Amino acid sequence: MKKLNELTYGIVGLGLMGGSIAKAIREYVLSKHGSTGRILSSSRNLSSLKMAKDQNVIDEFYPLDKADDMLSQCDFVFVCLYPHMTVEFIVDHKNAFKSGSILTDINGVKAEIFDRMDEIRREDIDFIPGHPMAGREKEGYSFSSGDIFKNHNYILMPLKESRKENIDLFKSLVTEIGFSRIVETDGRVHDHKIAFTSQLCHVLASCLVDSAENSDVTQFGGGSFEDLTRIAMINAPLWTELFLANKNELLSHIESFENSLTTLKNFIKNDDAKGCESYLENVRTKRLEMSRIDVKNEN
């Protein structure tokens, strides 16, 4: 099996996520004595590339129009672009990838990727779609950090033709850089689940902020409002893309949520203390069970 600290990594798009992946690989995989691995990056943002080179996070950089020169050297490529650019980039540079290399993306919605798999696939490249479930409320390379992945989930969606040794290599990399749980699934299940745990949460947090009378409400906050709305410091163009790309799944979860809200609202409206308390007891039990599943998986 290939050794992680001897590979050449290529990071396409050096923003918050690309930068964080590069930093984590540098820190946790390539900083070992005797390592011959390298990190290359190609991005439209030249100043981020230069900063990353100065910080010794990457070894070499390539402007986006020279990406082919990088891809031909890389054993493991992370495409960390905005969702709408991901498939375009892979298809446009299809012939540049190094034969036998592993390719992955970080898109939060996989529908387009799986729909256009025929255009993307090259037989001698192992494309393994992935989704690192981590992030920050800030954009850009300057906010990236190699430590944002600790105790987070990585979702892998190997194709049926993906080679086991490559999947294993991917998993060991993900574990090395901090992720504590790897979930394997397919694109359809991913988009359905993510619409709930990620997109619906961003919708609700945003609507909660939108419905605030004014900005001084935090004077009356006890932490709940702040916790619920931290993700509302949102990257508007990115999340607009994600919401629309996963529209049907998201709308169906929004409607389930609206039904749950109507039920609880009616208990309150009708002064139905018994109904309200039993609803909340069920919620408590369910949420505690979720924590137990988490703890179980961490052990």
Site string for a second copy, 66-85 (x = CB under 8 A): --------------------
Query: Is the CB of 18 or the CB of 135 nearer to a second copy?
Result: 135
Q: Which of residues 252-271 bind a second copy (CB under 8 A)?
A: 253-254, 256-261, 263-265, 268-269, 271
Q: What angle do CA 171, 173, 177 make, to 5 degrees?
A: 120
Query: Which residue is it, tokens 């419905």?
Result: 211
- Least gap, CB of 245 to a second copy (angstroms): 10
Q: Which of 31, 50, 119, 244 binds a second copy (CB under 8 A)?
A: 244
Sole window of 68-76, 98-106, 118-126, 148-156 interacting with a second copy (rule: CB under 8 A): 148-156
Q: Which residues of 228-246 are buried (b: 16+ CB within 10 A; e: fewer)?
A: ebebbebbeebbebbbebb
Query: Is the CB of 165 or the CB of 272 nearer to a second copy?
Result: 272
Q: Which of residues 164-223 bind a second copy (CB under 8 A)?
A: 181, 183, 190, 193-194, 196-198, 200-213, 215-223
Site string for a second copy, 105-144 (x = CB under 8 A): ----------------------------xxx---------
**Residue 81 near residue 10 (C-beta atoms within 8 A):** no
Q: How far apart are CA 157 and CA 184, in angstroms?
A: 6
- Least gap, CB of 33 to a second copy (angstroms): 34
CA separation, residue 256 to residues 66, 191, 212, 261 (Å)? 47, 16, 23, 9
Query: Is the CB of 6 or the CB of 227 nearer to a second copy?
Result: 227
131, 55, 123, 127: which is closest to 90 by C-alpha?
127
Query: Is the CB of 33 or the CB of 269 nearer to a second copy?
Result: 269
CA separation, residue 91 to residues 72, 95, 105, 239 (Å)? 15, 8, 13, 23
User: For residue 156, what are the contacts with CB-CB under 8 A and spacing of at least 6?
Assistant: 128, 129, 130, 167, 170, 171, 174, 182, 183, 184, 185
The answer to whether 287 contacts a second copy (rule: CB under 8 A) is yes
Query: Is the CB of 118 or the CB of 213 nearer to a second copy?
Result: 213
